[in-house]
Amino acid sequence: MIYLDYNATTPLDRRVLSGMLPFLKKNYANPSSLYRFSQTARRAVEEARARVAELLSASIEEIVFTSGGTEANNMALKGVAFALADKGRHIITSVIEHSALLNPCKFLEAQGFEITTLPVDRYGVIDAQELKKSIRTDTILVSVMHANNEVGTFQPIREIASICREKGVLFHTDAVQTVGKIPVNVKELGIDLLSLSAHKFYGPKGAGALYLRKGVKVTALLDGGHQEKDRRAGTENVSGIVGLGIAAQLARDEMRETEKKVRALRDALQAGIQKKIPKVTVNGHPVNRLYNTLHVCMEDVASESVIINLDFKNICASGGSACLSGSVTPSYVLRAMGLSIQEARSALRVSLGKYNTREDVEKTLKVLPIVVKNLRKLSASSLC
């Protein structure tokens, strides 16, 4: 099998798994217990916190463990909204955010908060100056993602963060697609809150964190025990947290190498597709884009047909659309970038990672052009 869907999730690094196993077997103690047996678990959680903090250049107290990116986003959005509701009820975000950000915004809108959703240009980038103009006296939070999961485009978060700081507004970024892939320094970037998720960088599913800058107050979403300094109740997912910590350490140590390797594979795949398949356009920013992501539209083919045909050849890739009760809705990200419904329906996302090889790229470049050619023949010979 050739796995080309690393933006959806990544395989667990075997070194992460070996670090996790003792906490699923012999070290099963609750980290909050008093006896010495629980010390190993407690220390492991704190060591993982130090590793995550180090990956972000944050302090240890600024890391709150969550069940993943979705919870971190919910905690940032709702936590700030509930904490600052007396100060203001206006939040600014962008149209190309992940559903794990847009849906908490919808929830808050129903609770009486006002959401301004900024548009993007054809590369999927928001205009920082337009963002600046939309900040009001009652704005409490700006949330703009670091890199988009579909097309890979980066947002100018450094510039946005500095605007927010100047205006005295909190800035959150969903960095689930960048943490572990590229250096992310929260201090240097000027970020107040940041979401990350272990399973997007070779860690386990169900583990993530919210970076909360010292001094930023959020209302906890879960009421219960006093774990995570009262910021996230519930017995810690010890093995998951340990896995996240090791994944963070490995990412820090191997980031450069991984980027070099994966970028070369992605570039080869892109060049090959552009050479071998006519009528292809590459989406997202040509340069300011994740090094592992390739997103294309291929005229006259439906993305789900391409995905299914690739699947028959044991290649896992993703379309630009979500299947909702049988009907295929074209991606709102692509629509926001100005692509037509027709174009958006022909999208293919290929996202690579550290376990991909030259052979994977070569095989994909053999299979995909044939798949597209056959589908185009079919669509030309049918009326629907």
Residues found near ligand PLP in the complex (CB under 6 A): 68-70, 98, 100, 145, 149, 174, 176-177, 197, 199-200, 208
Q: Give 19 or 208: the residue with its C-beta nearer to ligand PLP.
A: 208
Beta carbon nearer to ligand PLP, 245 or 369 = 245
Q: How far apart are CA 215 and CA 177, in angstroms?
A: 26
**Least CB distance to ligand PLP at residue 179 (A):** 10
Of the residues 164, 297, 323, 384, only one is catalytic, namely 323
Nearest distance from residue 73's CB to ligand PLP, in Å? 6
Q: Which helix (H) or strand (E) holds 90?
A: strand 90-94
Q: In the complex, what is the shortest distance from the CB of residue 208 to ligand PLP, in angstroms, rounded to a whole number? A: 5
Cβ atoms of residues 77 and 105 within 8 Å: yes
The DSSP symbol for 94 reads: E
Looking at the Cβ atoms of 174 and 302, the one nearer to ligand PLP is 174
How far is residue 304's CA from residue 313's CA, in Å, rounded to a whole number?
14
Q: Distance between CA 72 and CA 211 in Å, rounded?
A: 9
What number of other Cβ atoms are within 10 A of residue 159's Cβ?
A: 15
Q: Which helix (H) or strand (E) holds 144?
A: none
Shortest Cβ 195–ligand PLP spacing (Å)? 7
The CB-of-116 to ligand PLP minimum distance in angstroms stands at: 20
Collapse the DSSP code of 118 into the 3-class scheme (helix H, G, I; strand E, B; otherwise coil) and give the result.
strand
User: Residue 195: which H helix or E strand, with range?
Assistant: strand 193-197
Task: Using DSSP, state whether 30 is helix, strand or coil.
Answer: coil
Work out how close the CB of 315 gets to ligand PLP at its nearest, in angstroms, rounded to a whole number: 21
* Other CB atoms within 10 Å distance of the CB of residue 296: 24
d(CA 240, CA 65): 10
User: Which of residues 27 and 293 has its CB atom nearest to ligand PLP in the complex?
Assistant: 293
Could you give the residue ranges of the DSSP H alpha helices within 176-281?
Answer: 186-189, 227-230, 238-276
Please identify the residue of the shown chain whose CB is closest to the bound ligand PLP: 69
Q: Which is nearer to ligand PLP, 199 or 285 (CB)?
A: 199
- Closest to ligand PLP by CB, 148 vs 258, is 148
| CB closer to ligand PLP out of 207 and 368 | 207
Is 323 in the active site?
A: yes
**Angle, CA of 378, 279 and 361, to the nearest 5°:** 90
Q: Is 330 exposed, middle or buried (0-12, 13-18, 19+ CB in 10 A)?
A: buried
Backbone angles phi, psi at 57, to 5 degrees: 60, 40
Residue whose tokens read 């009820």: 89
Q: How far apart, in Å, are the Cα atoms of 46 and each of 51, 159, 219?
A: 9, 33, 23
If you write DSSP's letter for every residue of 277-333 in order, what string do you get?
A: SSSEEE-S-SSSB-TTEEEEEETT--HHHHHHHHHHTTEE-EESEEEETTEEEEPHH
Tokens matching residue 142: 């700006």
User: Which of residues 105 and 280 has its CB atom nearest to ligand PLP in the complex?
Assistant: 105
- Minimum gap (Å) between residue 250 Cβ and ligand PLP: 18
What residues are annotated to the active site? 323
